[in-house]
Structure 1
Amino acid sequence: MAIDERLSELGLELPPAPNAVAVYKPSLIVGDLCFTSGHLPVNTDGSLHLGCVGRDVDQDAGYAAAKQAGLAILATLKSELGSLDRISRIVKLFGMVNCTPEFTQQPAVVNGCSELMREVFGEDVGVGTRSAVGVAALPLGVVVEIEAIVEVKA
């Protein structure tokens, strides 16, 4: 099944692919790998998931924000690659969670993105390596920022 069909089957809609707002590229292909810059949890209407997990929002809201950041990553990859069907493997996700020092469930928050990739691409292609870390602040006050490395087909 084509990935666009899979997204539709899952009832998922990609937000517009974000543009660079500083001196960087949203994605860059090097050999057979595509690296994305950090992606924020942007909704289809352009609004962002804001807040600090453990203070302003709970773990479930963090999970939802990570899923939305994953959809933004997919939007960038589709724009860069022309088709999400060119992805042969999710190699690595790196998730940063805006959270209080006491909050220790960063992996559960970043699962929002990881589980999205598994749902969309399947276990073999969609599950790669991952890091999930807590940070004191993120750009614009967002809940999460996530970057990805994916292997691509020519």
Structure 2
Amino acid sequence: MARIEAKLAQMGLALPQALQMPENMRMSLPFAWVRVSGTRVFVSGHVGLNPDGTIAQPFGKVGAEISLDEGYAAARLVALAQLASLRRVLGDLDRITAWLRVLAMINVAPGFDQMPKVANGFSDLIVELFGPDIGTHARSAIGVALPFNVPVECEAEIEIDG
């Protein structure tokens, strides 16, 4: 078993299936979830998923319907969803040589300003899995309105071996 997937298994974590949009939310998504250009990989915005690929709850704004801890947990699910997409495209997560940049978008209630603490759910998992040399990345964490009232969406840029 590959090194990163073995770590996931040791942590009791599983990668989800591909996104399964609910019938009432079906729409055209004319973009790639993962786009490889040479050794650079661009990962489109992902949301947290359940193991079967459905969008994970809870829904709502962090700082209102969703607590800081629930937001942190949602960001971890986003990282797992990205890893699942990367595995489908790359075949092996061990090909990742650097996490370069992450943009964390947090669905926040008015006055909530702890976006970095929520985004740490994503970053902490990536650094734990890949180690600081590969997993440490540049990051922005901003408060925005998000589709489907999900609490967290993240996009990323990574580097892979040639």
* Fold shared per TM-score above 0.5: yes
3-state secondary structure, aligned to 2:46: coil
Identify unmatched segments of 5+ residues in structure 1: none
* Counterpart among 30, 39, 59 of residue 32 in structure 1: 39
Q: How does 1:20-99 map to 2 (within 5 A)?
A: 21-45=28-52, 46-49=54-57, 50-99=59-108
With structure 2 as the length reference, what TM-score do the two structures score? 0.90
Conservation of the 8 A alpha-carbon contact between 1:18 and 1:76: no
Question: Could you say if the C-alpha distance between residues 54 and 96 of structure 1 is closer, same or farther in structure 2, counting changes exceeding 3 Å?
Answer: same
CA displacement 1:51-103 (0-9 Å, x = unmatched): 10011011000000000000000001001100001000110111000001200
**Is the CA contact (8 Å cut-off) linking 2:19 and 2:55 kept in structure 1?**
no
- Hey, what does 1:18 align to over in structure 2? 19
Within 2, Cα distance between the matches of 1:53 and 1:15?
A: 23
Runs of 4 or more above 4 Å deviation: none
Q: Which runs of 5+ in 2 are unaligned?
A: 21-26
Q: CA RMSD in A?
A: 1.5
CA contact (8 A) 1:97 1:144 kept: yes
- 2:159 is aligned with 1:151: yes
CA distance in 1, matches of 2:128, 2:14: 14
8 Å CA contact 2:35, 2:43 repeated in 1:
yes
Does structure 2 retain, via aligned residues, the 8 Å contact 1:34–1:152? yes
- Residue of structure 2 equivalent to 1:6: 7
TM-score (normalised: structure 1): 0.94
Shift of residue 21, structure 1, vs aligned partner: 4.8
Q: 2:24 maps to which residue? A: none
Higher mean alpha-carbon deviation, 104-113 vs 11-20, is at 11-20
